[in-house]
């Protein structure tokens, strides 16, 4: 019989790529991970890892087993959800991740609803970039995550995660008032090309917001001169108002721009959704959180 905990380690190695990364995810030592994978190899009766120097790669048999591990782990999530549903009241921790601009308009109302309707839940919120959400869900550091991607740079599906859409937002080019950009008129034009000689403000390297700023500019035929990096959109808009550059800003972050900022709508859209581990959709706490987020999103859109 194959050990489920060892299967989880193999699945995570398939996603994370190195034994060191798997060890960090599970707070194990690399040697402990290697020992568990060696034990799984003995259980399977076939080679699972090929070693080249310090690096390991999965054999074809290991890749096949990792895919089956996804099915097994999904079934375990469903079994856990069924057991929790049999309880009289929801209780215990519910770990929620969200990107900053979703917290006030979407997540805060959902948390109030969950606290009122399910007081036994221990709500725990972590702010994180959507790029980090799949790993956090897979490693069980989160149960639910509010995530986003952009239609011009869609995120590839993850076999371990299911995502339910919440809303689509307009994406704006934020520029200092007084700057005229070719293409900003008539409505529907694309003014990004007019910023090729201007400094840009973008998120930290590795974040989704940094990547989308680069992609918007590449689509317009140039690489932007990124002078400032900021992950807080309030700081981004303050820098724009101070004449320090231009930036891409989604609707959730652009509600009340400071004086001195002009917002020009672009054709790109940002898509926000709620993600959870595959197989956990029927878990009562996850289902309650998803329902609360959907209701909070409707209130935001109606408001």
Distance CA 246, CA 192 (A): 10
Beta bridge pairs of residue 95: 124
CA distance 74 to 61: 20
Please say if the pLDDT value at position 186 is more than 50: no
Among 38-42, 124-128, 136-140, 168-172, the range scoring the smallest mean pLDDT is: 38-42
54 and 157 both lie in a single domain = no
Q: What 3-state class would DSSP assign to 158? A: coil
Number of domains in the chain: 2
Q: Are residues 175 and 116 in the same domain?
A: yes
Residue with tokens 């990004």: 192
Q: What is the pLDDT of residues 46-71, one digit of tens each?
A: 888 888 777 888 888 888 888 888 88
CA proximity to 58, closest of 75, 73, 46, 70: 46
Same domain, 94 and 76: no
Residue that is last in its domain, among 58, 84, 110: 84
Can you give the pLDDT at residue 5?
85
- Residue 182 — very low, low, confident or very high, per pLDDT cuts 50/70/90? low
Residue 264, number of CB atoms within 10 A of its CB: 19
Q: Are residues 108 and 181 in the same domain?
A: yes
Q: Flag whether pLDDT at 174 surpasses 70.
A: yes
Say whether both 33 and 138 belong to one domain. Answer: no
Identify the domain boundary among 56, 84, 112: 84
| pLDDT per position as a tens digit, 117-162 | 999 999 999 999 898 999 899 888 999 999 999 999 898 888 889 9
User: Is the predicted pLDDT of residue 185 greater than 60, yes or no?
Assistant: no
- Whether residue 144 is found in the same domain as residue 94: yes
Whether residue 52 is found in the same domain as residue 196 = no
Asked if 121 and 90 count as a contact pair (C-beta separation under 8 A), the reply is: yes
**Model confidence at 187: pLDDT above 60:** no
- 34 and 159 co-located in one domain: no
pLDDT at 278 exceeding the cut of 60: yes
DSSP 68-128: HHHHHHHHHHHHHHHHHHTSSS--EEEEEEE-HHHIIIIIHHHHHHHHHH-TTEEEEEEE-
Q: How many CA atoms lie within 13 A of 45 on its CB side?
A: 2
Which CATH number goes with the domain that contains 26?
1.10.10.10
**Which of 84, 100, 118 is a domain's end point?**
84
pLDDT given at position 8: 84
**pLDDT of the residue at 37:** 85
Same domain assignment for residues 69 and 130 = no
Q: Domain range spanning residue 22?
A: 4-84
pLDDT at 116 over 90: yes
On the question of pLDDT at 297 being above 50, the answer is: yes
Whose CA is closest to 150, among 174, 169, 172?
A: 169
Task: Please indicate, yes or no, whether residues 28 and 112 belong to a single structural domain of this protein.
Answer: no
Mean residue pLDDT of the chain comes to 88
pLDDT band at 87, cuts 50/70/90? low
Q: 57 φ, ψ to 5°?
A: -130, 155
Alpha carbon distance 73, 295 (integer Å): 30
How many angstroms separate the most distant Cα atoms in the chain? Answer: 71
Q: How far apart are CA 213 and CA 219, in angstroms?
A: 10
* Angle between helix 284-302 and helix 60-85 axes, rounded to 10 deg: 80
Q: What's the CA gap between 125 and 134, in Å, rounded?
A: 16
Question: Tokens 């293409």 label which residue?
Answer: 183
Angle 293-294-296 from CA coordinates, rounded to 5°: 65
- Judgement on whether residues 99 and 228 belong to the same structural domain of the protein: yes
Domain match, 134 and 176 both: yes
Residues 6+ apart with CB under 8 A from 47: 41, 59, 61, 62
Is 183's pLDDT higher than 80? Answer: no
- Domain of 275, CATH number, reads 3.40.190.290
With a cut of 70, say whether residue 88 has pLDDT above it. Answer: no
Nearest to 151 by CA among 171, 131, 135, 133: 171
């Amino acid at each position: 019989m194959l050990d489920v905990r060892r299967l989880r380690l193999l699945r995570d190695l398939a996603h994370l790529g190195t034994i060191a990364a798997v060890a960090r995810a599970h707070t194990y030592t690399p040697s402990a991970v290697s020992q568990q994978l060696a034990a799984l190899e003995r259980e399977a009766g076939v080679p699972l890892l090929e070693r080249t120097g310090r690096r390991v790669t999965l054999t074809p048999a290991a890749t096949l087993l990792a895919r089956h591990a996804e099915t097994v782990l999904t079934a375990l999530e469903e079994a856990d959800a069924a057991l929790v549903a049999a309880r009289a009241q929801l209780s215990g921790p519910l770990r929620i991740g969200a990107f900053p601009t979703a917290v006030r308009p979407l997540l805060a109302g959902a948390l109030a609803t969950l606290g009122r309707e399910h007081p036994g839940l221990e709500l725990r919120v972590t702010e994180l970039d959507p790029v980090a959400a799949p790993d956090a869900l897979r490693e069980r550091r989160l149960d639910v995550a509010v995530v986003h991607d952009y239609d011009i740079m869609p995120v590839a599906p993850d076999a371990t995660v299911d995502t339910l859409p919440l809303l689509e937002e307009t994406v704006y080019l934020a520029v200092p008032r007084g700057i005229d950009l070719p293409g900003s008129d008539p409505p529907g034009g694309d003014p990004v090309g007019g910023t090729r000689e201007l400094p840009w403000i973008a998120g930290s390297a590795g974040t989704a917001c940094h990547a989308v700023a680069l992609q918007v500019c590449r689509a317009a035929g140039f690489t932007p001169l990124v002078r400032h990096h900021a992950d807080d959109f309030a700081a981004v808009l303050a820098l724009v108002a101070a004449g320090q550059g231009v930036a891409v800003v989604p609707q959730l972050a652009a509600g009340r721009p400071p004086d001195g900022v002009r917002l020009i709508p672009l054709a790109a859209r940002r898509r926000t959704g709620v993600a959870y581990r595959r197989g956990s959709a029927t878990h009562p706490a996850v289902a309650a959180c998803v329902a609360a987020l959907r209701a909070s999103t409707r209130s935001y859109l109606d408001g």
